[in-house]
Amino acid sequence: MIEPAWSRLRLRDRIAPGLRVLFVGINPGVRSAETGHHFAGISNRFWRLLCESKLVPEPITYVDDARLPEWGLGITNLIARPSPGIDDLSPPEYVEGWRKLEKKIRRYQPAVVALVGVTVYRAIVPLLGGAPPPRRRAAGTADSVLGLRPEIVHGARLFVLPNPSGRNANFSYAEMLDAFKALKRYVGKA
């Protein structure tokens, strides 16, 4: 089988010392790999959520990802390898990804590590020695996994956000925006 050209591409981390928030996605999608920018999927709402929650002071898109450190924000992925979906990722990739992410957290010392997607949180909690959270939420209830978590990694608090992908049917846009606004309130206090 011939490997697609995008499968060898890697995104550049947008990290600097002194970040208020380091956003961590699970891994880049194909379009992100091809464009060289984080959360570049056509239906991805990450950039709109950043703006509407006031985490950034002006509308930006994926092509502006290098500007995030201007506002004390950074972005990386748990797993660097792009894929069409998370079903293509293997358990050893999660473990290796966590080892690399932990080094980045230790080096850059962000105040908050915002895990973009409950799946990212579920993947790393066992690596921190905790029990994985429940797999599903009850219909019509808020997911208890979202928001500020009790775990602290190298001084950084963990905060779980919904995955803003257009494929995420687990949360409405309003619920996603509420979570991003909660992050804004938390970092405003910290």
Mean pLDDT for all residues in the chain: 90
Per domain, the residue ranges of the chain are 5-189
98 vs 165, residue with greater confidence: 98
Q: Is 146:98 a contact under the CB 8 Å cutoff?
A: no
**pTM over the 0.75 mark:** yes
Percentage of the chain modeled with pLDDT above 90: 74
CB neighbours of residue 158 within 10 Å: 22
Lowest pLDDT segment from 23-27, 37-41, 95-99, 141-145 = 141-145
Which tokens sit at 47?
């950039």
Confidence band, pLDDT 50/70/90 cuts, at residue 87: confident
Q: What is the mean pLDDT of residues 22-26?
A: 97
pLDDT higher than 50, residue 103 = yes
- CATH number for the segment(s) 5-189: 3.40.470.10
At residue 141, the pLDDT reads 45
Confidence band, pLDDT 50/70/90 cuts, at residue 5: confident
Confidence band, pLDDT 50/70/90 cuts, at residue 138: very low
Q: How many CA atoms lie within 13 A of 183 on its CB side?
A: 32
CA dihedral 51, 133, 112, 170 (to 10 degrees): 0
DSSP 11-34: PPPB--TT-SEEEEES---HHHHH
